Amino acid sequence: MCFGYLIHYWREKNIRLSRILIYVLWVVDLALLWLTFYSTEFMKKPGYDNQALDNFLNSFRRPLWALGLGWLILACAEGFGGPINWFLSLKLWKLPARISYAMYLLHVPILDVVVGAPTQAIYFSMMNGLYLCFSQYVIYFIASFIITVMVDFPCSNIIKIVLGDGFKKSKPEQRSNEKVSDNQQVINEKQS
């Protein structure tokens, strides 16, 4: 929420950060994301028994991951993303992102139906567990694809038609040029 507020607050402002500061923030961010991702590897070793470190990592790993993702989003939104922004902004990610969101919304109701449907006891085996896992995933994917194609795409098209193209955010370079031209226009009006 804090990074969302910063993006909203800085929407019309021209943020200027030095290249060195941007590089340092990216290095710190990527190190932080790597650290939070791999911080539990040593806990998987047999004989590990350090409850204090375990509690510390469980307390701070998720907020640090959110902090790292927050900087990534803020940097990409403000034009400091570079190749990461280019990769994440590819049109190729549009359909998978919508399908994954639909899967997020639909998986619990479908899981409730699947878990409540059996009329007799199910005995666990590795193959039966894999079969249930992958079959449920296929069901989630098919239902999500149908919802995305039948509901999400038409609704987004209707919204685009009603609102026009929506609100377009200009790039940081364009914002600085717009501010200069606005200031020049004000100066010209005062002179005349």
SS (H, E, C) 56-106: HHHHHHHHHHHHHHHHHHHHHHCCCCCHHHHHHCCHHHHHHHHHHHHHHHH
Provide the residue type at 136 as one letter: Q
Tell me, what's the pLDDT at 127?
A: 92
Contacts of 75 (CB under 8 A, 6+ apart): 22, 25, 26, 29, 81, 84, 85
Amino acid type, 28: V
Least reliable range by pLDDT among 33-37, 79-83, 103-107:
79-83
| Rounded distance between C-alpha atoms, residue 31 and residue 173, angstroms | 28
pTM assigned to the model = 0.61
Residue 176: what pLDDT?
47
- Residue 149 is predicted with a pLDDT of 93
Tell me: pLDDT of 150 over 90. Answer: yes
* Beta carbons within 10 angstroms of residue 64's beta carbon: 16
Q: In a 10 Å sphere around its CB, with 0-12 CB exposed, 13-18 middle and 19+ buried, how is residue 68 labelled?
A: buried
169: DSSP letter: P
